[in-house]
Structure 1
Amino acid sequence: MSGYFVVVDELDDWAPYFPSREVISFDQYLAKTDIPADQTVRILNFCRNKRALGRGYYCSLLAEARGHKVIPNISVLNDLRRKKLYTLKLEEVAKSIAKLKPAGNAAQVTFRVFLGECQQAEFAELAKSIFERFAAPVLEVTLEYDGQWSLEKVHTLSLKEISDEAEQEFLANTLEKFSNRLWRKPKTRKHYRYDVAMLVNAEESMPPSDKKALNHFIKAADKLGINLETIGKRDYVRLAEYDGLFIRETTSIDHHTYRFAKKAEAEGMVVIDDPTSILRCTNKVYLADLLRTNKVPTPKTLLLSHTDKDSLQHAIDYLGLPIVLKIPDGAFSRGMYKATNMDELVDAMKKLSKTSALVLAQEFLYTEYDWRIGVLNNKPLYACRYFMVKGHWQIYRHDDGKKAATGGFETMPTYEVPQAVLEASLKACRLIGDGFYGVDVKQTKDGRVAVIEVNDNPSIDSSVEDKFLGQALYYEVMAEFLRRLESQ
């Protein structure tokens, strides 16, 4: 049985569009009580009456009760009933509204949003923003102009209210793009048990995984009966089509990766990196205090908020020289300085204080390499030693306008890793969650172990992290997805 349905009041409502057996009436959906509870079902609710206790309302209500993923959901329908409720949620689209130019002498304009898209190019950004907050098949938006644009009204439309042929064609094309597998499902398509989205950014200069590694993940998922599809930033509105989300793009809190993770979690999807892990890992200030409080071995650390020499002298007295300074959300050795004297310390603090109120200061521990321990569901998965760039103190060196230089690496089985390194890594990960992490650890010549940070989105590149496990590394990650999907 198909896992996709478009629900309409009467089948005649679909007459202007291409026939499909996935299009059913409200009464037919009401009678479908035999769908197995563990089957993933997605519903597009095109019913007319979405007021409380109307058919459209009951369609979404029944879908949620049956565990089906529905657009629009009950929360959206309830919010759109009252202007005070939906205007609160639309505060974030104020920037998009502010960008709009006056429309001649018009004091009011109305446009329609079809699954996040609209026919008028000038409203494209606003349409997408509104749909992200109120996912409904068709929305009508009214703006008023009085020196500046403001949102007057947002409400849902049914198929019956779309009588213009150009609009009907636009909706049909948008539907086709929105859910490609619904409208163009090849007859020979392999039957998958689950669909998982893999969020990537093809333009990222230093992505967590190269193209070969991404393909290895896709092949491993295929063997497990998982359809793993790559998606990008623009596919936010399509998340409800999937059962899981695998983020393979560098994460940050003030970033679309975090919004993707939050939405996926809200949809009840299996998600790695989960939003809690992103929150705990991406801010080094939070992470440093978390590790210190729970007695995980780390370098001596201070949080600095001032550039005056008295506080900086205290840092030198406590940490010694050199001192390593870091911004809270740096990645791949970016936003880091090593200060060897007071002048360098003052200069680095002034630079970093421009972007962050707090700066992390740590004692400098010299090692020839950094350990990276990959941990999945609180179990060690892989181990690498990343060596420092020749003549440099980090494993990455960023030169302006040039590709980042890297040191060598050595991949090995986890059973060859010193026990103290493994124990510190696992202890740190247990504080974060049960996701997929990469723990950076230093081990000095005298045996001292110090956790530098926990990465929620660890690097997995072909012929590097997979050097020892090979395809088994990708298989283990996707097998964890399968385990979590089945446990739901």
Structure 2
Amino acid sequence: MSHFYVVVDSLTDWKPYYSSQDVITFDDYLERVNDRSKKRIRVINLCRDYRYLKTGYYCSLLAEARGHHVLPSLMTINDLGRKSLSSIQLTDTSQLVNRLPLGNEGEQLTFRCWFGKTLNPALAKLAAKLFEKFPTPLLEITLQFKQHWQVKQVKGVSLKALVDPAEQEAFAETFEKFSLQMWRKSKTRKAYRYDLAILVNPDDPLPPSDDAALKQFKKAANQLGIATEFITRKDYMRLAEFDGLFIRETTSVEDHTYQFAKKAEAEGLMVIDDALSILRCTNKIYLADLLNTHKIPTPKTVIINQPSEQALLKLENEIGFPMVLKIPDGSFSRGVVKVENAEELTEQAKILLKQSVMLLAQEYMYTQYDWRIGILNNKPLFACRYYMVDDHWQIYKHESQDTQSGGFETLPTFEAPKAVIDIALKAAKLIGNGFYGVDIKQSGDRVVIIEVNDNPSIDSGVEDKYLGEELYHEIMKDFLLRMESLGR
């Protein structure tokens, strides 16, 4: 279980807001040096002065020394206090300030934001960006017009800076959402041992879990004493509120999902998918080399980086036709093409190499279905056969406005061939101890790994067809055990 302290210089600073025993003075926080009553403590530092050796500075310094998770961090305070560092941090805000209406030469505009929110809609995106760069409860930003708008100053301010009732009300509402507590009025909330964030993308056309499955995850977590909240990429700065992060949107090293995993791990959260698993699974070049190094069977595989006649001829000789070309970071069969002859190989290699400087060329193995073995913490959890789309060679067929998928068959893991389970476990162990979906082709006695997915699909009525609610319970139980092992 985690807990908030809100630290102020004087309780009168909190007078406009709903009183709480968790709002304490800096002097009181000093006295709680040996507070072990909570497994995880987060501190919102709202002291009046963050300058060097002032109370705000010491509050964050002591919080970090005590292993508490504090906002703002000492690094943020130092960045705000050193003009050279803050200037570097502001280099990519010009696009946002340039969207503002033109001003008069020398004109200044000062506004405040709380947890990245502000009252002026025109400044909302800039406020969010500055909070992302300088995570501080209350910021005061000064803009200056010199031929164009530019950020002149960013500084942390105290609650006493909020004298406008509208700003006070907005701060209270934002703080309530940020902390998952009610500060303007009392609110009954069922006590849970842990808080789990589930990262989703409502606009993802092919999410790892459908709405029904997400509800089952929530239900299973609640039954185990874990409170859940569905978050999106906009909630990046709220990660410190939680004890765990479950990523349920398509992952990539190049987007926010990887950054979420990295930040959550830095905050001490238990994370699935962890950043290292995302790194290892989402790049097929890395995965192919990893499997080859450890002598895990795969289809014949060659890595290419140029569509020269000599390189393509070598592919033809080593693999033969038909063969499959893949970009390193494709998902759900995207960026994967089958070529039947040298002409198609030349054409498709040139097209795909415009997307990536390296490609994977693999032997084509015809099978009616691919195995998917779900592995959780190095134990088999479910087994599925995903069948190819009719008159197509893949389990997914992407058309201009639609995506088709083939049929499926979900089995208990003990009914899957032992060779399939064994190779899935070997491959997953190379990635880590998280939650993986291992894709396998079986042709007679030959069993090979196609890829390992770091966020395998769990859809209602598909992967849970055999285990039902027990599937969600097992995954959430693993989260519970992991959080308990970290002393949460």
Give the structure-1-normalised TM-score: 0.94
Contact map agreement 2:2 2:243 (CA 8 A) in 1: no
In structure 1, stretches of 5+ residues that fail to align are: none
- Cα–Cα, structure 1 residues 291 and 94, in superposed 2: closer, same or farther, change >3 Å? farther
CA distance in 2, matches of 1:325, 1:37: 56
Match in the other structure for 2:374: 374
1:216-268 alpha-carbon deviations (Å, 9 max, x no partner): 11111111111111111211121111111000001111111111111101101
Tell me by how many angstroms 1:99 deviates: 4.5
1:430-469 alpha-carbon deviations (Å, 9 max, x no partner): 2211111101111112x11111111000000111111111
For 2:239, give the aligned amino acid: L
Match in the other structure for 2:5: 5
Tell me by how many angstroms 1:405 deviates: 1.2
Match in the other structure for 1:58: 58
Superposed counterparts of 1:428-439, under 5 Å: 428-439=427-438
Superposed counterparts of 1:194-205, under 5 Å: 194-205=194-205
Superposed counterparts of 1:100-179, under 5 Å: 100-179=100-179
CA distance in 1, matches of 2:99, 2:418: 57
Tell me by how many angstroms 1:183 deviates: 3.0
Match in the other structure for 2:446: 448
Q: Point out the more displaced range, 264-273 or 129-138.
A: 129-138
Tell me by how many angstroms 1:112 deviates: 2.0
- Cα–Cα, structure 1 residues 185 and 391, in superposed 2: closer, same or farther, change >3 Å? farther
Q: Point out the more displaced range, 415-424 or 287-296.
A: 415-424
For 2:481, give the aligned amino acid: R
Tell me by how many angstroms 1:478 deviates: 0.8
Tell me by how many angstroms 1:366 deviates: 0.8
Q: Point out the more displaced range, 224-233 or 178-187.
A: 178-187
Superposed counterparts of 1:331-370, under 5 Å: 331-370=331-370
Residue identity over aligned pairs, in percent, reads 55
Contact map agreement 1:2 1:22 (CA 8 A) in 2: no
For 2:291, give the aligned amino acid: L
CA distance in 2, matches of 1:130, 1:223: 39
- Cα–Cα, structure 1 residues 65 and 180, in superposed 2: closer, same or farther, change >3 Å? same
Match in the other structure for 1:214: 214
Give the structure-2-normalised TM-score: 0.94
Tell me by how many angstroms 1:92 deviates: 4.7
Match in the other structure for 2:193: 193
Tell me by how many angstroms 1:120 deviates: 2.3
CA distance in 1, matches of 2:148, 2:85: 22
- Cα–Cα, structure 1 residues 37 and 200, in superposed 2: closer, same or farther, change >3 Å? same
CA distance in 2, matches of 1:282, 1:481: 22
Match in the other structure for 1:396: 396
Match in the other structure for 1:313: 313
- Cα–Cα, structure 1 residues 99 and 318, in superposed 2: closer, same or farther, change >3 Å? farther
Q: Secondary structure, in 3 states, of the residue corresponding to 1:469?
A: coil
1:156-213 alpha-carbon deviations (Å, 9 max, x no partner): 1111223333332332232233234343787542210000100111221111011111
Superposed counterparts of 1:233-252, under 5 Å: 233-252=233-252
CA distance in 2, matches of 1:106, 1:169: 32
Q: Secondary structure, in 3 states, of the residue corresponding to 2:141?
A: strand
Alignment partner for residue 457 of structure 2, among 456, 459, 468? 459
Contact map agreement 2:274 2:434 (CA 8 A) in 1: yes
Q: Secondary structure, in 3 states, of the residue corresponding to 1:41?
A: strand
Tell me by how many angstroms 1:101 deviates: 5.0
CA distance in 1, matches of 2:256, 2:129: 12
For 1:474, give the aligned amino acid: Y
1:114-156 alpha-carbon deviations (Å, 9 max, x no partner): 1111222222222212212221111122334444444332211
CA distance in 1, matches of 2:258, 2:110: 32
- Cα–Cα, structure 1 residues 228 and 332, in superposed 2: closer, same or farther, change >3 Å? same
1:10-65 alpha-carbon deviations (Å, 9 max, x no partner): 01112233333332211222223463255232221110122232211221222223
- Cα–Cα, structure 1 residues 37 and 323, in superposed 2: closer, same or farther, change >3 Å? farther
Over the aligned positions, Cα root-mean-square deviation in angstroms equals 2.1
- Cα–Cα, structure 1 residues 107 and 295, in superposed 2: closer, same or farther, change >3 Å? farther
For 2:458, give the aligned amino acid: I
Tell me by how many angstroms 1:77 deviates: 1.3
Contact map agreement 1:37 1:66 (CA 8 A) in 2: no
CA distance in 2, matches of 1:37, 1:300: 57
For 1:440, give the aligned amino acid: D
CA distance in 1, matches of 2:11, 2:342: 77
For 1:420, give the aligned amino acid: A
CA distance in 1, matches of 2:94, 2:275: 25
CA distance in 1, matches of 2:478, 2:26: 38
Tell me by how many angstroms 1:100 deviates: 4.5
1:415-435 alpha-carbon deviations (Å, 9 max, x no partner): 222222222212211221111
1:278-336 alpha-carbon deviations (Å, 9 max, x no partner): 11111111111111122111111112222233221211111110111111111111111
CA distance in 2, matches of 1:93, 1:391: 50
For 2:192, give the aligned amino acid: Y
Aligned: 1:418 with 2:401: no
Tell me by how many angstroms 1:351 deviates: 2.0
